Structure 1
Amino acid sequence: PKNGKYAARISQSLAPGNYRLKVGAADKSGELSNELESEFFAREAVVNNAPVVTEIFISDTAFVDQETPFVIQVKAVDPDPEDAVVRVSFQILDPTFTEELISGDLYDDGSHGDAAAGDSIFSVEITSAFASWRFGNFNLYVQAVDNSGKSSLSLYKSIPWGKKQLGEAPVISELGAPDTLKLPADSMHVVIFVLSVKADDPDNPNDVKEVFFNTYKPDGTISKSSPLQMYDNGASGDAVAGDQIYSLRAFLVYSNDVGDYRFEFQARDYSDLLSNKITHIITVIK
């Protein structure tokens, strides 16, 4: 403001063609300045549309236990005849949507796994290394950019995971559990104890899907709460997350029967193979 420069917006709609613009000024006494002239051409307005990603094609499965070729193909077009898609990019996030595993560009030049140049099918061949021993569906996003710099909306597709081979069953060991527990003195108190077991898998420690135990009461019947899951998350009685020691904090209450309780511990992997079984007796006394 007040810098000696004046501006005005032409609100009138102009037909396409050549126009001459004359500009003059007048002071407060009405004296007129010289006039300046300029010519400009008005053309029909053209809306610059963003490109569109219409389809995503991917390999059927991202294998977690073997590195195999993984192909991503995208159909991307620009609605404007004078514009073109110049870049298509992809991003793959982990199953929790919190970590980027891999990102890059797709190509329509007959290379990098692209079958035919210039057919609006952008492709890239990578490997399933991004999925290595991670379990859960992965999350693919793709986006296109045109020659004028406009970006398409991101298109999403879920990538299923799988295993090429069953592999070997998990193994549990190093059970930690008391041998004897004394009932609390009354119903106002409880006895807290921790059960723990080490679980590993010959294929990969991440292949352990769950560790659990069943409890059998002194009369031989199974506890209604069975099976109970054990955790390696630094909570629920587990001391350290990710150390392959699975634990659970348990409680003994006044109403529990006295006698021998049988605990059977096992692990299961992502091929649904069961581990060896460890049996332990805890004797509850008054």
Structure 2
Amino acid sequence: IDILLKNPVCPDTLWKKTPEKFTVGVEAVFPKDKISVDEVKMELFYTSSRTVICTYYLEDKGISGDLIPKDGRYSTEVNSEEFNNFVGSMFFHFTATDIDSTVFSSPLDYPLTIVDGEKNLPPSIRNINLPDSINIEENPELIVEIEVSDPQGNDDIKVATCMIYFPLSPVADKIFHLNDEGINGDKLKGDGIFTCRIKTNEISFYGEGVYTFLFKVEDSSGNKSPFVWKNVYFYSESGNFPPSVTIVSVPDSIKAKNDTILFEVKVSDPNGLSDIAKVYFNSYKPDGSPSSANPVYMLDDGGKTPGFNSGDKKEKDGIYSKLIIITPEVSKGNYRFEFFAVDNEGLISPEKKHIIVVY
């Protein structure tokens, strides 16, 4: 035995009611003095009876499913319709001989199960409904729609996702989920059109440029659609874009004991920090009711404003601050804080939420 067969490529499961075309292949390693192959053969056997169902001859000529000629990998294309009358346990059986029939391989087997049923095929995205460009001043809200289909029916769709990449960003900066439930901008439940409603200021605060919308859909079996995408140009006729807020230092929990706590948020604006008019937060009690102190303003004043007690460490660095005190008398529980920035034209940043547990 001088021919080595290895690295078979074959499906391990097929479905009787879902015909498939696929490529099978195997790598054949021959002795240096026996390089003329006569044939590489693959037979499909029934495991229980050892009955041959089909026989195929594999080639290394860059045809019939073989990618690269004379690279030592032998392949052929197979259509499961040729044996779709069979179900159960089977195996692919590979053998090889040289042109003189003097050198043989040991057989190489690979198991196959044919299931009496239908394969759960992945969903697909057929259409994206998005404009090529968006004027943020005329469109404070954006409706994003994709048309989805699934061979098993749209009830099989588990989740539809939209990932938004800001201009020149290598990673997704915002992620949204779309629905087909007739809510959040979706017009008709179960029509295969998945929708989400997005506030334009949630994504346009990066500034003018091309934003990439990348979509994927997953079904209940975990099968994923191919990604589809669309580029959308965001612009403002006035050149003004909304600011954004990032939390720098806000605790997750506070003990109510008259301690002074410093809140800090980082504010940015495509039009520069000089375009920031005000920064503030609103807080909501554990029962959901708003605090009587709302809104609470924050400053980037380096702590220099008389009587305000911002606690700000450095003036005009884009970090806005406010010192607060939690007294022992306050209600204990989860408080919701929402931070905002507003520019000189009145454009408001997306809200930045944070939960603080007071105990």
TM-score scaled to structure 2, two decimals?
0.35
Q: When the two structures are superposed, what TM-score results if normalisation uses the length of structure 1?
A: 0.43
- Between Structure 1 and Structure 2, whose CA radius of gyration is higher? 1
